[in-house]
Each structure stands twice: as structure tokens, then as C-alpha cells.
Chain A
Amino acid sequence: MSETPEEPAGPRRVIGTPSTAPAAVDVAQEPTEPAFSAEPPAPRHAKNAERVAAALFVLAFLAGCGFIAAYVGLEVGNATLPAGTDFVVAAMRSNLALGTCLTIALLALGAGSIIWVRHLTPDIEIAEERHDLNSAPADRAAFKQDFAEGAAISQVTRRPLLRRTMLLATAPLALAPLVLLRDLGPLPQTDLRHTVWRKGLRAVTLGGLRPLRPADMSTPGSMITVIPQGYQDDDNALAKAGVILIKFAPGELHVPTNYDGGTLVSTMNWTVDNIVAYSKICTHVGCPVALYEQTTHHILCPCHQSTFDAANGANVIFGPAARALPQLPLMLDAEGYIVAASDFTQPVGPSFWERG
């Protein structure tokens, strides 16, 4: 290419510039007529392109037939397949066959269409003139006049009483749809301040619904999720009343504090045998705080990484949560099982306006 630097072979595209429109020069001379400047493709080239496109369409046809065959041939589900079949494998096999056929059919159709338009049609560009979007001044004036005339006939400007009473009439009707939405749900009342925990209600494990004695958590460092006994099927109750129990080695648990009503109190007597109970509902936006690191006593919310120090009243040490996890007062019942000594003394879960 170094031989003829003065005469570059054709228009070169400068990197970073949009590609140009070669045929538009002709358009400039004949703006309203199509400019059929491009030669039709060479017959041989066209024949080849036609063959390729047709082959792709045939492929699409075959793949489409394959789709129907796969639908008919590959059964899924326990309603049709014999018991003992791996239904997941059956579904995946069906998905693979159907999806592969559909993919081939669609992509072949697309490829055939593109070859058709790129190699079999002349490269025609036409130019269309733009017209002014704004109306001619005379039209605007005529519109204004018609509008003013209509307004005058209606007397909307001359009869303010009529105008205002009509607007007044629509006001309650405009509010009516909003009023109708009122029964979408009950009012919050004080729901968010309470959970189902009450004095003497046993804490049972989430998995086995087993009540716990302190001896069941003999290993310091263990964490277990518990729920109020009898509420395992009540999602609304569980969404507020989920609790984590954490067992500490003697001396590891610093004197925890928590709000009892509005005042901060020492809550060491809310624990039993170095087992402390915190709400499992994050005080940020309500995810279950499910990760516990034994060595640091950190409770981590997997959603937004609010981190609470379990050894220090579950105070926030990192992340967006603004408040410590509420602590549930614990005691032992007559049979020695861990029970709540009362409900939470402050609202659990995310903040809300009325929380105070």
C-alpha cells in the first residue's frame, strides 16, 4: 500500500466517525425521487446469496418441525412419566431440545432475512424532505379564532357561577376513586409495636419445633433460630416474632442494654444461663439477620450487611441499620424450658414514622 499514497483506493473510514452515506449524493440532486444509483448485485453473487438464504430458511423449517417433534416426543412431569423418573432431568431434556430447535429456527430466519436484504436488494437510499412541524401562522390564527368563538358560545368565561359549580361538582368524584381504595387494608393501629411473644410462651426451634432447655445449647458460640410455640404456620406472626438465641461462654457477654419503653436499662436479667435472645428481623428494612460469626460475635444481615455486636446488646457496628436488634426477655418455665418473660419492649423490624 505504500506505492500509491497519493491515490487511496476508496473513501476510507476514519475511526470514530459514523459511516457515510454514499448514495446520498444522488439524492441531493433528485430529492424526491428514489435514487437507484446502486447497480443490482451481480447475477452469480445473487444466485449464491439466494441459495444460502434459502438453505437457512429450510434449516429454520426443519428446526421448527424439530420443535414440534420435541414437544410431542419428550414428555415431562409425574402426570405422564412413570414414578421413579427423575422429573428434573426430563424437564431439562425437554427444555434443551425445545430451546435448541427454537433457537436454530429463529436465528436461521433472521440470518436468511439479513442475507436477503443485504445481498439481493440494490443498496438504495432515498431522501425525504422534512416539513415544518409548527403550523403556518394563518392556521394558528384560525385555530385560535375557532377556539375563542367556541368558548364565547359556551359562555364559560361569562358565567363564573356555572363554571365554578361545575368544577366543584367534579371534585368529590375525583376523590372517590381514592376513597374506594381505603378498604385495601386495615389501618396499622399498633400492630407494628407488638409481636405474639408473651410471658411464658415457649421458644421452639424453627426446624423441628422443639422446645429448648439451656442445656440444649451447651456449646458457647452457637446460634439458633427460634419461633413462638404454635405459630409455625402464621407467616404474619413469624415475620415479626423470629428470634435468634446465642449462647456465650461465661464472661463473654457484656452487660447488654435495651430500651424498656423509652428508657435504656441493663438487660442482663433478660438472659438465662448466658443465652441471649435478639429479634431476627433487621432494624434496617426487615431481612432476617442470619449470619453469625462466633469468634467476633458479629451478627450480619446478608441483605445490606448491617452488622450487630451480639456481645454488646446487638449494637450496630457497621452498615445502614440505625438501631440495635431488640432483645427479648427470657426466663425458664416450671419444666426448665426457655420461654419469653414478656413481649419485646420496643417495636421490632424496620423504622416507621409512628415509632417515636
Chain B
Amino acid sequence: MSDNVKSDAVKIPPAVDGVGAWLDDRFHGAKGVRVLLKKVFPDHWSFMLGEIALWSFVILLLTGTYLALFFTPSAAPVVYHGSYTKLDGITMSQAYASTLNISFDIRGGLLIRQIHHWAAIMFTVGLMAHMLRVFFTGAYRKPREVNWLIGIGLFTLALVEGLFGYSLPDDQLSGAGLRITQGVMQGIPIVGTYISYFFFGGEFPGQAVIPRMYILHVFLVPGIILALITAHLFIMFHQKHTQMPGLGNTERNVVGQPFFPYFLLKGQAWFFFIFGSLAALSTYAQINPIWLYGPYTPLAISSASQPDFYMGILEGSLRMMPAWEINFLGHTVSLSVLIPALVPLGIIFTGAALWPFFEQWATGDKSFHNINDRPRNAPVRTGIGVAAVCFYGVLWAEGANDVLADRFQIPLYTITWISRVAVFVIPVGAYFATKRICLGLQRKDANMLAHGVEIGIIRQLPSGEFIEEERPVTPEERAVLESKHVTPALPAPLETDVNGVPQPAARGPLGRARALANRAFTETVAVPESHGNGHGNGHGELEAGEHAAIGSHEEH
């Protein structure tokens, strides 16, 4: 079978061979690196989402280093006499002046600056898409909970890194964002004013914050991100990839293409596509034209001030919140600042971090999972995930309520009132609707397994009866359809014994909560027994035979 490839095998040139031997003499690498060459990468489009984030981060490091060569992280005032003549003679910070300089006086500076900004957006988009994929397919399950937590840490740091990054040029728009950040900081009970004074080196705006954010932005935060990415990839390498359900894919194997040459070529292509897309965006879609905003001054503001999209949820939460301030023992507690600043992202991050453990607790499922779930086969998880997306989406859209009001001619306050209701109603509705849709899709799968696939042909029999033509499911389809992992319900938790006493496990509020959660998690549609397709054309037998062969393989 492999003759044609072996006969093609490339002769390794003596020079390369010599270098390899030299290295192996010193590092004993042949065996270990061979494992890397043969490392299996399962093939599915959704596995490329995390790579978007990875390659964007690489591009951020490259472009960021370049920008740092020209950027002056200083709030010291300087009178501008540069190439942007509309601001000639204006006093501005050196940070803003050097950003103008990068944009208008350094060849390629504007391009690299815009690639850096677009890459930051692509980075967070990639992170979000990757996290949603991991959540909806249950790829965070045992043994990958730690990598899930690292991912949440990475996402949090990405938001902080982005906020610092777009605040650095010290333009009017980012200064307004920084002012909001300071206002929120100041509202923290007990320590708020101290945190604000320590961060800004005194009163807002001061001159200390630009160099401080700079060192956090170019050294500390990216350093931690880099370390966490490294850990993330090593853990993934060590635990091996998950894979989608499919024929021949089992919990005990990983099927895909080897790193060398397949993934190397594909990964290279994907890197170039992402980099190329960012270059295209930066060439044809202007981003953050700071020269139009002007330097930051504390008393100017423009309408429709928006942060970068990943901060939109915080902005929307602030806009949505009704006025609510209380006095606690003679101290002011500004709940209309604290709640939006902490609660929505707190729910999402804490909820996401606890979810794998909650799911294990609710289902009692402590087994290893290497084959991903199809979202429909985990209706509660998928429902919660869609609810979270809706919750996030409403808050995010409210962050642009002024733009929405302007574009669609809807009164501003109406939009805010709609979102105040929607943020509670839509996620709940989305949960139940999604769960029903998932169960409906499970029913469709069960039906397909039992009756075959409708192929869209209606036939009229001589008797006048109409029947719908079906074909049996293929082995590949069957493997996917039968991949549903049904967690058995915990032993009759809600039942009581003859004396009306509930099971020990279901006692107490925690026990009752677990029993309720377990009942929701185990609601499923039974998969019909694997058997012939009922057409009697021989396909059924063949499939059953093939399937048995694969089944026996799964056992070793």
C-alpha cells in the first residue's frame, strides 16, 4: 500500500543529515521530534478557530515590537509641528504626537499600526469563536478542564491588554474610555479612590498613567499571555486533540493527518491567510484614525463614542443600568457603576469557569471524553450556551444604543428600556427554545437511524398511494448519528422510599438542586438499536457487519 510513497521518499542531503546528526548527538532529539512529525491533527473546520487567535497573537507580537521602536510612552506635553498640518501648533502629549508620527512620517507605520489594531480585534474574535466551539462541543470535559480555565484567563487578559493598547495613543476617544475606566475604579467600595490614585499617580489624568499602561501593555500582560498560550499548547499536545464523531473515531484513538507535512503546510497557509486578511483590512478599512479625534483634553467628547467591540459589553451594561446609589453607613456605594462593571462579565467568566465542574456534579459523569459532542446531543449545555450568547449580545448591542437610535430612528430611551427587559427575557427564552430544538434534532436523528434518509422523491404507487423514497444511512452517517453519549440518570434521585423519605443523595437543598439539574441534563431522545434499515436490500447487513468490525476495534 505504501510502496508508491516509499519509492518517492526524498534522499536527505548529506549536509542536512550532518546537521541533524550534530543536533541529535547533543540533544537526543530524533525520537522525540519524530513523534512531533507524526503528531495527528484531526481535520475539522472548527479546529482552525483557535489558530486564528494564535496567529493573530504572533502578528500582534511582530507588529507591536515594530511600533514600540517609534512610540514614545510619555504624557509630557509637546507642541506639534509634524506632517499632520491641521494640528500644527497644538499642545499634545508625546504619546499622541509619536502616534501621529508613526501614521504620517514613518513609511509603513500607518499600515503596521492598523494591522496591530485589526489583529487585536481578530485575536479577541478568534478567542471568542474558539471558546464557543469548545463549549458547544463539550471539548472542555475531563481531562481538559485545566486548559479551559487557562483559556478563560487568556480571554480576560486579552480584554485588559486591548484596553491598555487602545488607550496608549492618548487621543480624544481613548482618553474618554480611560476617564470611564477611572470613574469605575473610583466607585469601588473602600479602596476605589486609592486604586485610582495609585494607578494614575494622583488625580486623573495626571502624567503617570501612559508609561504605566505602556509597560503593562508591552511587557507584563503579553508575557503572561505568552506563558499561558505555551502552557495551553503543551497541555493540548500532551493530552492530544479531541475529535469530532465519525467512522473509526473512538475515545481511544485520534484520527487525522500527521503534522509533517500536512499540518505544517496547512498551518502555514492559514497563517498567511490570516496575516493577508489583516493586511487587506488595514489597507482598505481604516481603523482608529486618531488624527481625526485630536489629542485628549478632559472637557471634550464626541457623540457616538464607542470602545473596541470586545469592550462593548461593559459599555452596554453601563448604559443599561438604571440610576441606583445607596448610602452604606455614611459611605456612598454607586451600584449603577458597580453592578454593570462587575456582574455581567462576572456571570459569564465565573459561569464559564465553573461550568465543567457543575456539569460533572449534575450528571455524575467522571469519565474521559475525547470525542466531541454534537451540540444537539447536549441540550442543557447548548441551551445555556445560547442563553449566554444572547445575554452577551443584548448587552453588547446596548453599548451602541446611540448609534442604533440614530441609524434606525428609534428613540434612545426606548432602546435602553427594550434592552433592560430583553437582557432578562431573551436568554431565558433562548434556553428553552434551544433545548427544544436540540431534542427535536435528536428526534430527527433517531428517525433517520430507524428509517433512513429522505431523498426528496415522492413516488406514486399503482394503487394511488404516495410514498416517500428513503435510502439507508451510510456507515459514516451512522457513526455520527450514533455518537450520542447518553449519561445515565443518577439513581432515581427524586423518588422516595415507602415511608416517603427521599434518597440520601437528594436530601437538603443541594441534593434537591442536583436532582433537578440531573433530570434536566438526562432528558434525551432514545437512539434506536443499531439494526438493518428495513429495506431488505442487503445494505443493512453490510453496515451491521462493518459496524461490528469497528466496534471490535474500539475495544482494544
Of the residues B188, B302, B303, B448, contact of A14 by C-beta under 8 Å = B448
Q: Given that A18-B480, A185-B201 are known contacts, is A128 also in contact with B38, CB under 8 Å in the complex? A: yes
B480: which A residues are within 8 A, CB to CB?
14, 17-18, 20
A79 vs B471: C-alpha distance in the bound complex, in angstroms? 74
Counting CB contacts under 8 A, is B395 at the interface?
no
Q: Given that A106-B275, A126-B256, A305-B402 are known contacts, is A87 also in contact with B104, CB under 8 Å in the complex? A: yes
A302 vs B306: C-alpha distance in the bound complex, in angstroms? 10
- In the bound complex, do residue A128 and residue B106 qualify as a contact, i.e. CB atoms below 8 Å apart? no
Q: Given that A18-B480, A236-B206 are known contacts, is A285 also in contact with B413, CB under 8 Å in the complex? A: no
Which residue of chain A lies nearest to B110 when distances are taken between CB atoms in the complex? A95
- In the bound complex, do residue B256 and residue A125 qualify as a contact, i.e. CB atoms below 8 Å apart? yes
- Chain B 190-228 residues near chain A, CB threshold 8 A: 190-194, 196-206, 208
Contact with A along B238-274 (1 / 0, CB 8 A): 0110001111110111111110011001101111110
Counting CB contacts under 8 A, is A214 at the interface?
no
B275: which A residues are within 8 A, CB to CB?
106
B65: which A residues are within 8 A, CB to CB?
none
- In the bound complex, do residue A36 and residue B1 qualify as a contact, i.e. CB atoms below 8 Å apart? yes
- In the bound complex, do residue B370 and residue A130 qualify as a contact, i.e. CB atoms below 8 Å apart? yes
- Chain A 30-47 residues near chain B, CB threshold 8 A: 31, 33-37, 40
A187 vs B488: C-alpha distance in the bound complex, in angstroms? 59
Q: Given that A5-B455, A117-B269, A130-B370 are known contacts, is A305 also in contact with B319, CB under 8 Å in the complex? A: yes
- In the bound complex, do residue B1 and residue A288 qualify as a contact, i.e. CB atoms below 8 Å apart? no
Counting CB contacts under 8 A, is A156 at the interface?
no
Counting CB contacts under 8 A, is A11 at the interface?
yes
CB distance from B470 to the nearest CB of A (A): 9
Counting CB contacts under 8 A, is B408 at the interface?
no
B5: which A residues are within 8 A, CB to CB?
36, 40, 122
Q: Given that A25-B247, A186-B202, A288-B301 are known contacts, is A20 also in contact with B471, CB under 8 Å in the complex? A: no
A251 vs B9: C-alpha distance in the bound complex, in angstroms? 95
A91 vs B240: C-alpha distance in the bound complex, in angstroms? 48
Contact with B along A149-190 (1 / 0, CB 8 A): 000000000000000000000000000000001101111100
- In the bound complex, do residue B247 and residue A235 qualify as a contact, i.e. CB atoms below 8 Å apart? no
Q: Given that A110-B269, A121-B261, A128-B38 are known contacts, is A14 also in contact with B43, CB under 8 Å in the complex? A: no
- In the bound complex, do residue A21 and residue B204 qualify as a contact, i.e. CB atoms below 8 Å apart? no
- In the bound complex, do residue B257 and residue A124 qualify as a contact, i.e. CB atoms below 8 Å apart? yes
CB distance from B302 to the nearest CB of A (A): 7
- In the bound complex, do residue B476 and residue A20 qualify as a contact, i.e. CB atoms below 8 Å apart? yes
A305: which B residues are within 8 A, CB to CB?
319, 401-402, 412-413, 416
B191: which A residues are within 8 A, CB to CB?
353
Q: Given that A18-B480, A98-B107 are known contacts, is A286 also in contact with B179, CB under 8 Å in the complex? A: yes
A290 vs B304: C-alpha distance in the bound complex, in angstroms? 12
- In the bound complex, do residue A98 and residue B111 qualify as a contact, i.e. CB atoms below 8 Å apart? yes
CB distance from B14 to the nearest CB of A (A): 26
A117 vs B197: C-alpha distance in the bound complex, in angstroms? 57
Number of A-B residue pairs having CB atoms within 8 Å of each other in the complex: 380
- In the bound complex, do residue B246 and residue A284 qualify as a contact, i.e. CB atoms below 8 Å apart? no
Counting CB contacts under 8 A, is B94 at the interface?
no
A285 vs B337: C-alpha distance in the bound complex, in angstroms? 7
- In the bound complex, do residue A238 and residue B107 qualify as a contact, i.e. CB atoms below 8 Å apart? no
- Chain B 377-407 residues near chain A, CB threshold 8 A: 401-402
A22: which B residues are within 8 A, CB to CB?
476
Which residue of chain A lies nearest to B243 when distances are taken between CB atoms in the complex? A21
Of the residues B251, B413, B453, contact of A12 by C-beta under 8 Å = B453
Of the residues A5, A17, A302, contact of B304 by C-beta under 8 Å = A302
Which residue of chain B lies nearest to A20 when distances are taken between CB atoms in the complex? B476
- In the bound complex, do residue B330 and residue A356 qualify as a contact, i.e. CB atoms below 8 Å apart? yes
B179: which A residues are within 8 A, CB to CB?
239, 285-287
Counting CB contacts under 8 A, is A51 at the interface?
no
B246: which A residues are within 8 A, CB to CB?
18, 20-21, 24
- In the bound complex, do residue B298 and residue A242 qualify as a contact, i.e. CB atoms below 8 Å apart? yes
Q: Given that A18-B244, A91-B103 are known contacts, is A24 also in contact with B325, CB under 8 Å in the complex? A: no
CB distance from A54 to the nearest CB of B (A): 15
Which residue of chain A lies nearest to B42 when distances are taken between CB atoms in the complex? A21
Which residue of chain A lies nearest to B77 when distances are taken between CB atoms in the complex? A233
Counting CB contacts under 8 A, is A272 at the interface?
no
- Chain B 300-323 residues near chain A, CB threshold 8 A: 300-305, 315, 318-323
Counting CB contacts under 8 A, is B2 at the interface?
yes
CB distance from B182 to the nearest CB of A (A): 7
- In the bound complex, do residue B40 and residue A106 qualify as a contact, i.e. CB atoms below 8 Å apart? no
B240: which A residues are within 8 A, CB to CB?
128, 130
B257: which A residues are within 8 A, CB to CB?
124-126
Counting CB contacts under 8 A, is B24 at the interface?
no
B336: which A residues are within 8 A, CB to CB?
284, 320-322
Which residue of chain B lies nearest to A72 when distances are taken between CB atoms in the complex? B107
- In the bound complex, do residue A21 and residue B199 qualify as a contact, i.e. CB atoms below 8 Å apart? no
A206: which B residues are within 8 A, CB to CB?
299
B413: which A residues are within 8 A, CB to CB?
305, 318
- In the bound complex, do residue A128 and residue B40 qualify as a contact, i.e. CB atoms below 8 Å apart? yes
Counting CB contacts under 8 A, is A291 at the interface?
yes
Q: List 8 A-B contacts (CB under 8 A).
A: A27-B253, A88-B84, A106-B279, A109-B276, A110-B270, A182-B198, A184-B199, A304-B318
> Which 5 pairs between the two chains have the least Cβ-Cβ distance?
A99-B283, A285-B183, A24-B248, A106-B276, A110-B272
Query: Given A284-B336, A318-B413, A319-B323, 12 other A-B contacts at CB below 8 A?
Result: A5-B471, A11-B474, A11-B476, A20-B476, A87-B84, A103-B283, A128-B40, A184-B198, A280-B299, A290-B300, A350-B183, A351-B332
Please list the residues of chain B having a beta carbon within 8 angstroms of any beta carbon in chain A: 1-2, 4-5, 38-40, 43-44, 77, 82-85, 91, 103-108, 110-111, 114, 143, 176, 179-180, 182-184, 186-194, 196-206, 208, 239-240, 244-249, 251-258, 261-262, 265-266, 268-273, 275-277, 279-280, 282-284, 291, 297-305, 315, 318-325, 327, 330-334, 336-337, 340, 368, 370, 374, 401-402, 412-413, 416, 441, 448, 453, 455, 457, 469, 471, 473-474, 476-477, 479-481, 537, 546, 549-550, 553
